[in-house]
Amino acid sequence: MDERGTRALRPAQVILFGAILAVALFVALFPYFPRQLGVSEGNVASREIRSPRDKTFVSQTLTEQARESLAAAVGDVLVPDANVAADQVELLDEIIVSIGQVRESASLDQPAKRQELLRIVDRESTDTILALEDDRWQRVVVESGQVLGVTLSGPISPGGAEEVRDGLIQQVSPDFAADEARLVADLLRPYVVPTLVIDEAATEEAQDLARQSVEPQLQTVFRNQVIVSEGEAIDATAVEMLEEVGLLSPRVEIENLASVALIAALAATLLALYLWAFPVSSIKSSRNLVLLALIVAVPVLLGKLHFSLVLPDESRRFVAYFLPLAAAPMLIATLLSARLGVVIGLIQAALLMFAVVSLPDLSLVETIDPVDAGRVMLVYGLASTMGVFAVRRAERTNQYAAAGILVGLVSGVGLLAFWLLEPQRELIDLGWMAAAATASGLGSGLLTAGGFVAVGALLGVTTRVQLMELSQLNAPLLRRLQDEAPGTFHHSIIVGNLAERAADLIGADSLLVRVGCYYHDLGKVAQPGFYIENQLAGDNPHDGMDPKESARIIARHVQAGVDLAQRHGLPERVQDFIPQHHGTRLVTYFYRKASLQDPNADQSFFRYPGPKPQSRETALVMLADSVEATTRASEDRSSERIDEIVEEVVGDRLAEGELEECDLTLRDIRSVAASFKRTMRAVYHPRIAYPEPTDQERGASLGRFRPGRRTPPPLPEAPAPAPGGPPT
């Protein structure tokens, strides 16, 4: 739909729209993101991270480290175990008894005894045991018990048993030979164990006291201080510092808020100024402006939330491009204006790029690729532009499907262009890009086709599908017009053909013009016999009536048509054609008739109620209606006369000032006049007069009727033309 010639919005409305849109965009771009990228201890930093602010805080990590260090320094609390000495002496006695039995065994020879002793002691001790005399062996046994008892009577810590074992040989009496002293030490070694055990409760209590003595550790970080260097492993202290300075928690920074506010205000101002400079006819109320602001802001919000969940795209699935964001500009183009749709599509693409740029790069091990920002703007911006181009005149469902395919194709080409620039591209990426482009394109087409009726109803906009339904000649009101006022119906069809071609030439909405022509004289069904085109029997009820009364009846069809259109729910843009196609013109025939009786007749009693045409479309119907009626009433319909009629009608409407409130330019008017001339000459083209039928033709015609068959009745004669009547 074209926005030329529509009335500009009031300044208050423009300001209201800008304010609402700025707030909506601020909310959409607010620096809150569902996914906060986290850091784990042990990650390797992908870049150098500096503190954004000065910060002094109690470091739980450093405090805990100091406490554990001091607790570890306390050591274990040891207490003596009274049962250790007796238990170990008893075990020693058992081993000595076993060795004595082997020594005294009469059934074992020397090699067998050796073999048995090797299971108890080492080889060197075995040789000594077998070589000792019984009295020397008894001295070894007694000395072993004494040395073990003395050794275990002293404190032996869990970690000091080995040292005591190594000193056993020094505990043996010097009266023993070296081999005997070594045998004593070897026998006792396994039974020297710690005599002190850890008191767990006392140890924990001592460590707790040590921990409590540690003061909280303060950590100070300065602005721009390097917290972690690129390639460095992140430890617990670094994670805590990142958290404290706000790099890992969803905090709102004043700088981010200011950035979002500026971008939202800038985008809202630009769009508000566009609507001020290029107003759209369907946007009249503040309610429509609010809905338009939501249509602009909601896709931006959805895009920001989606991007924060799927970017960075480390797995290269191109999920960021699956969104059908071209649907919003396509809906605007279908319902309001193609140019407005392009502007909104480009603004949304720029805002989506800003959303990508503002995503928090907080993982330290994942980064947002700068290419994503440019790719988002290019892919979604160009796709929206193509979608607007494809649906700007869509009238059938298959056109929305075709538009979706074109959107997907443009998205795919944009993704491919960036893919060719990437050094790490893989062939499998092509499959994901194709899937993203298909989902985005077809989704946009389906959303547009499924949503334009609902959105159009909310905006109060007449959709092209509604116009197509109203243009069907079997529509209820048109069927009634055919049945009750056939002459008016025929006139409306001719006017529709005449005006539709002219609308195409000047870029007006030809479908709206055609539908407006079909319904412009709808009110004549109330009293069809009062209009000359419906007076087929030749009687004219205006004969003998007062001209003023006749003019009132003729002008009444305007209000009757408006009432009938409102009762049947015709769209407002179609209703506009009913009063505006006559404007404020005179009911000329009866005014002139009244002037013959009274030269001072008041014109105000003979004027249509108006208003004058407010758009190019309604102005076209006014001109086409007058041209068709005047040409039909003329006896001379030669090409020259038709050209004169068109020029006269156009000149009269200009002179009357009926075209002052619409946006038809002089160039448009010349194009319209030329189109009217061509169309009317085609309608009233000359025909060749056929010669009289020959005798053979007559005979052949009569021969078709066999004897006995009833001859066809003669055709009825056409009724005599009506003796004049008021033009409409």
Q: What is the pLDDT of residues 181-195, one digit of tens each?
A: 888 888 888 888 888
pTM over 0.85: no
**418 vs 105, which has greater pLDDT?**
418
pLDDT at site 689:
67
**293 vs 164, which has greater pLDDT?**
293
Distance CA 713, CA 268 (A): 77
Average pLDDT (68-93) is 81
Q: What is the pLDDT of residues 565-619, one digit of tens each?
A: 999 989 888 999 999 999 999 888 888 888 888 888 888 888 898 899 999 999 9
What confidence category does residue 719 fall into, taking pLDDT thresholds of 50, 70 and 90? very low
Q: Is 679 within 8 Å of 497 (Cβ atoms)? A: yes
Q: What is the pLDDT of residues 328-350, one digit of tens each?
A: 999 888 888 889 999 999 999 99
- If one counts every other C-beta atom within 10 angstroms of the C-beta of residue 324, the result is 24
| Residue type present at position 610 | G
What confidence category does residue 648 fall into, taking pLDDT thresholds of 50, 70 and 90? very high
What confidence category does residue 698 fall into, taking pLDDT thresholds of 50, 70 and 90? low
Distance CA 288, CA 13 (A): 10
What confidence category does residue 702 fall into, taking pLDDT thresholds of 50, 70 and 90? low
Q: Tell me the average pLDDT of the chain.
A: 83
**Which of the listed ranges 123-132, 355-364, 488-497 does the model predict with the highest average pLDDT?**
488-497
Locus of tokens 């004549």: 524
Q: Is the pLDDT of residue 704 over 60?
A: no
pLDDT at site 722:
40
pLDDT at site 667:
93
Q: Is the pLDDT of residue 282 over 80?
A: no
pLDDT at site 34:
66
* Two structure tokens written together for 321: 């491009």
pLDDT at site 497:
93
Secondary element (H or E) of residue 197 = strand 196-198
pLDDT at site 47:
67
Distance CA 88, CA 119 (A): 19
pLDDT at site 533:
79
What confidence category does residue 518 fall into, taking pLDDT thresholds of 50, 70 and 90? very high
pLDDT at site 8:
59
Q: What is the CA radius of gyration of the chain?
A: 52
| Residue type present at position 622 | M
**694 vs 527, which has greater pLDDT?**
527
pLDDT at site 720:
41
What confidence category does residue 29 fall into, taking pLDDT thresholds of 50, 70 and 90? very high
* Two structure tokens written together for 121: 């002691």
Distance CA 9, CA 285 (A): 9
pLDDT at site 71:
79
Average pLDDT (66-80) is 79
pLDDT at site 3:
45
SS (H, E, C) 98-164: HHHHHHHCCCCCHHHHHHHHCCCCCHHHHHHHHHCCHHHHHHHHHHHHHHHHHHHHCCCCCCCHHHH
pLDDT at site 364:
43
List of domains in the chain: 49-74+202-244 (no CATH), 78-190 (no CATH), 252-460 (1.10.1760), 467-683 (1.10.3210)
Q: Is 221 within 8 Å of 227 (Cβ atoms)? A: yes
Three-state DSSP class for residue 233:
strand
Q: What is the pLDDT of residues 530-567, one digit of tens each?
A: 887 777 666 778 877 888 888 888 889 999 999 999 99
Q: Is the pLDDT of residue 162 over 50?
A: yes
Q: Is the pLDDT of residue 695 over 80?
A: no
Min mean pLDDT across 23-27, 340-344, 422-426, 664-668 is at 422-426
pLDDT at site 537:
63
Average pLDDT (315-330) is 90
Find how far residue 110's CA is from the centre of its chain. 97
Q: Is 603 within 8 Å of 586 (Cβ atoms)? A: yes
Give one DSSP letter per residue of 412-448, joined into a string.
Answer: HHHHHHHHHH-TT--THHHHHHHHHHHHHHHHHHHHH
Q: Bridge partners of 198?
A: 78
What confidence category does residue 699 fall into, taking pLDDT thresholds of 50, 70 and 90? low
- If one counts every other C-beta atom within 10 angstroms of the C-beta of residue 398, the result is 10
What confidence category does residue 673 fall into, taking pLDDT thresholds of 50, 70 and 90? very high
Q: What is the pLDDT of residues 451-484, one digit of tens each?
A: 776 776 677 677 777 888 888 989 999 999 999 9
Q: What is the pLDDT of residues 352-394, one digit of tens each?
A: 999 888 876 544 444 566 677 889 999 999 999 999 999 887 7
In the chain, the percentage of residues whose pLDDT exceeds 90 is 31
What confidence category does residue 251 fall into, taking pLDDT thresholds of 50, 70 and 90? low
Distance CA 163, CA 621 (A): 118
Distance CA 546, CA 555 (A): 14
Three-state DSSP class for residue 312:
coil
Secondary element (H or E) of residue 297 = helix 286-310
